[in-house]
Chains A and B, each alone.
Chain A
Amino acid sequence: MTDQELQVQQKREVERDQESTSSGTNFLPVTDIFETPEALRVVLEMPGVGKNSVEVSVENNVLTIIGRIDFSNYKGLQPLYTEYNIGHYSRSFRLSNEIEQEGIKAELKDGVITLVLPKAERAKPRRINVS
């Protein structure tokens, strides 16, 4: 897997049901989601998003992640040649498992945020015996 040559993934824009009040383009972060017996792990790539610029919330079983770019880093820079646009990131997922909200952990490292969403006790898998 690691010997594969990397290809550029075009950034996908966020599509909304309603128009948002603030203008500008937001992007969908590229995401991996894994499930272990205890938790759901959600890993999102949000290059350029620093600590304290990420919001994570779970409401009505919908997980929402927002990452904000600090545009002041681009102060005084004149674009000459560009291949990608930049913007804030946001994405929502409807969760298939019940989550212990208080136990949610988030870690941000090198533009990648890893969320660990522990499953609620009654949502943990039970082995089903075939009789």
Chain B
Amino acid sequence: MADFNDPFAAMLALQRALESRRESRWMQGGTTGMGAYPPTNIFQKGDDFVAVIELPGMDKSDLQIEAKDNTIRISGKKAMDYDQNASVHRRERVFGTFDRTISLPVQIDADTIRAEYRDGILALFIPRAASEKPRTIKIN
């Protein structure tokens, strides 16, 4: 991957990598597909995975995450927080409920998934199941 010391090069490399992975077949075998809310990117980090999900303006208490086997379910409600008396110039933000299931095509350790919500981004740190981790094989 790119050298992150140069912020412009880092941005370009990442934008290109994200674009070229748009046609990725990684999740194609499963029933869960793209297009559902919230928009999700999945990365590999060492042996493990990180799901980066854009969910701006959520209340943490309105967000539920469940994990079982190799599926993760994210559901919640994005509530409107405006003074209804104001006169509208422009309305582009959307509010409502969502419920999305993501199935990873690999075995994961559902019990040790860690979630972080910061700056409107939900990050799920998903460890690969121990049985799936590569082992070094010694030659006797």
A31 interface contact, C-beta 8 A: yes
Interface of A is mostly: loop
B87-117: CB near A (< 8 Å → 1, else 0) gives 1111111111110000000000000000001
**Interface residue total, chain B, C-beta cutoff 8 A:** 62
B140: CB under 8 A from chain A? no
User: Could you tell me if A2 and B95 are in contact, using CB atoms closer than 8 angstroms?
Assistant: yes
Most B-side CB within 10 Å, residue of A1, A41, A47, A81: A81
Q: Are B18 and A79 in contact (CB under 8 A)?
A: yes
**Within the complex, what minimum Cβ distance (angstroms) separates B34 from chain A?**
5
Given A71-B14, A81-B27, A34-B121 contact (CB < 8 Å): no
- Give how many A residues have a beta carbon under 8 Å from the other chain's beta carbons: 52
Q: Which of B24, B46, B95, B120 is in CB contact (< 8 Å) with A80?
A: B24
- Kindly identify which residue among B15, B41, B55 contacts A83, using a CB–CB cutoff of 8 Å: B41
The one of A34, A36, A86 that contacts B18, using a Cβ cutoff of 8 Å: A86
Q: Which one of B40, B42, B96 lies within 8 Å of A6 (CB-CB)?
A: B96
Alpha-carbon separation in the docked complex, A30 to B24 (Å): 27
Q: Is the CB of B119 within 8 A of A4?
A: no
A6-B98, A76-B45 known; A25-B40 Cβ under 8 A: no
The answer on a CB contact under 8 Å between A80 and B49 is yes
Within 8 Å by CB of A1, from B46, B80, B86, B88, lies B80
